[in-house]
Amino acid sequence: MALIVQKFGGTSVADAEKIKAAARRAVEAHRAGNQVVMVVSARGKKTDELVALAAEMTDDPPAREMDMLLSTGEQESVALMAMAVRELGEVGISLTGAQIGIRTDSSHTKARIQEISTERMRNALDSGQIVIAAGFQGVDPDFNITTLGRGGSDTTAAALAAVLEADVCEIYTDVEGVFSTDPRVVPNARKTNRISYDEMLELASMGAGVMHSRSIEFAKKYGVHLRVRPSYADGEGTLIAPESEEDAPVVTGVALVKSEARVTLSDIPDRPGVMSLIFTKMAARKIPIDMVVQDVGSGGIAGVSFTVPESDLAETLTAAQDAVDELGSGCVRSGTNVSKVSAVGVGMRTHTGVAAQMFMALADSGVSIGMITTSDIKISVLVDRDDCETSLNTVHDGFALDQVPNCAPIGQDNADTPTAATAREDLQSDIVRRLASMEDIVVSEVQLDTEQSRVTIRNVPDDPGVAAKIFTAAANGGVMVDMIVQNIGTSDQAHLSFTVLRKHLDNCIEIVGKVLEQWSETELSFDRDIAKLSVMGIGLRSHTGVGEKMFKALADTDINIEMINTSEIRMSAVVSADAGDRALQCLHGTFGLSD
């Protein structure tokens, strides 16, 4: 007998007919001989309505009371669903998060799951009932109701599937599955039949609202097979599962965070510990930062920019001001009206020229790129919000994502071989077994890469097409570019840094040098010997504590950080070559990993 978790999102239970349809689906699965756990969201726009109602009471609702209020949406749905199930002749039992025993921490409105009791659910299932669980909610150690963050019912579903060791977790929603991008924004988006955990995790974290990113963390950690399916039809949907051993698409999807904001700390001291302080201040407020770009310091003075969701901007500015006060110098600025567009695909690990292709597509549409950051399987750019939908469409078309994907063979330079990936999964399951709390951070490995060099170009004109020209020339010359970061400086000029394989450095300098001849103010410099440290794991960016720990450990060891990239599966820092081994050892110690 199989155990199936079926999650129904808001639109899939919006009215009586839809609730009945969802109940029929669960009853069918039950009558086919399966044990069934339903996870149900609040009906339609119920949660938004409750948020709006709270705003009519106060500008600053206490987070505890928000959770009390928002959790009622799901409570209504589960009761109605249990009635619908009974009408179909089966017994359904509705349960709130507290009744199930979904224990969370106390961070109201973004609580993390610590443990889940399976006893009550198992008893109900064993006695032939359909369990109907309220999504999105839990209870803290003092029995306060908590919620997991908007869209959190997916996370409830994946977490219940994990503890119950379900055979499959089906996510029923209002689209056919996971698409190459939001099909409501880009009509020619293409549905994918299968996507890897890592790709879905990055896409969800970068704005693909179809799944709550934390649900993918659960799925990957606990090996849950998720299937995203339409609730209004019988489509097979999309399987979210481990990376397939076949060739991987170079780019799987594109995502957009429309309301992003940029924060810059300028004129701050250029010394070890600065990044650590910033990450610590943000982590204390659980603000996940992204697109971190440091300006190469001159005269002991440096600058750092990063992005945050616009909804976190006010708190971020307070935290940034705190950091500046503590550093004793500097000033904080912010830029709104910007959006983040990201392309994600595991094939990027082995394929050159992917970033160039993205920059070229944007240039051809006349879009100017503010900031750039890349990680091993994603590239993000910051653009004006007015350009965001054009950018999304352009990048989608630029990678021909409406067509059958172009695949990159696995196993070239720089690639994770399937054996390495399997070894990593074994190591990871070992770590997961030892977690004190279900949503604890998983850090499975620290890597040191000493094969790279850094190239920096200052005073690049801030015009469409500049990055495209540079990286297209490099790609055409066979130069393997790894990390890229770009920041817009003052007076319409940008600073660009990237790493290349050391064996390609001389060739790169020659090629890029030629491209730069057309812009007289640019200054090219390089560092032949650098070390790149990468911490690998799951949920690294959104669990703000990982960046905090990593940069604190490096600061305590007196190591200066030259470049950073953040992602959910890898956090990397470039340091000077002579600090590489020390940094590796210190990070092994910090994350409790043996050599």
| Cα(228)–Cα(218) distance, integer angstroms | 15
Q: What angle do CA 86, 92, 93 make, to 5 degrees?
A: 130
Positions in 5-24 near ligand ADP (CB under 6 A) = 9-12
Compute the half-sphere exposure of residue 99: CA atoms within 13 Å on the CB side of its CA.
13
Q: Answer yes or no: are the C-beta atoms of 565 and 375 closer than 8 Å.
A: yes
| Cα(76)–Cα(25) distance, integer angstroms | 19
Q: Answer yes or no: are the C-beta atoms of 553 and 579 closer than 8 Å.
A: no
By CB under 6 A, name the one of 209, 464, 545, 589 that touches ligand ADP: 209
For ligand ASP, the closer of residues 146 and 153 by Cβ is: 153
Q: Shortest gap between Cβ of 490 and ligand ADP (angstroms)?
A: 35
Q: Does 258 bind ligand ASP (CB under 6 A)?
A: no
By CB under 6 A, name the one of 135, 177, 303, 405 that touches ligand ASP: 135
For Mg ion, the closer of residues 151 and 249 by Cβ is: 151
Picked from ligand ADP, Mg ion, ligand ASP, none, the partner binding residue 34 (CB below 5 to 8 A depending on kind) is none
In our burial notation (b when 16+ CB lie closer than 10 A, e otherwise), range 353-373 reads: bbbbbbbbbbbebebbbbbbb
Q: Shortest gap between Cβ of 206 and ligand ADP (angstroms)?
A: 10
Among the residue ranges 169-177, 240-248, 331-339, 509-517, the one whose residues contact ligand ADP (CB under 6 A): 169-177
Chain-centroid distance, C-alpha 306? 15
Picked from Mg ion, ligand ADP, ligand ASP, none, the partner binding residue 42 (CB below 5 to 8 A depending on kind) is ligand ASP
Picked from ligand ASP, Mg ion, ligand ADP, none, the partner binding residue 288 (CB below 5 to 8 A depending on kind) is none
For ligand ADP, the closer of residues 73 and 253 by Cβ is: 253
Q: Shortest gap between Cβ of 451 and Mg ion (angstroms)?
A: 41
> What is the pattern of x (binds ligand ASP, CB under 6 A) and - over residues 147-186?
---xxxx---------------------------------
Q: How many residues bind ligand ADP (CB under 6 A)?
A: 19
How many helices (H) and strands (E) are present in the chain, helices listed first? 17, 28
Q: How many residues bind ligand ASP (CB under 6 A)?
A: 12
> What is the pattern of x (binds ligand ASP, CB under 6 A) and - over residues 30-69?
-----------xx----x----------------------
| Cα(157)–Cα(44) distance, integer angstroms | 18
The CB density around residue 392, as the number of other CB atoms within 10 Å, is 24
| Cα(168)–Cα(161) distance, integer angstroms | 7
Strands (E), 438-595: 442-449, 452-461, 481-488, 493-501, 523-527, 530-538, 563-565, 570-576
By CB under 5 A, name the one of 73, 135, 151, 347 that touches Mg ion: 151
Task: List contacts with ligand ADP (CB under 6 A).
Answer: 9-12, 41, 151, 173-175, 178-179, 181-184, 208-210, 253
Task: List contacts with Mg ion (CB under 5 A).
Answer: 9, 151
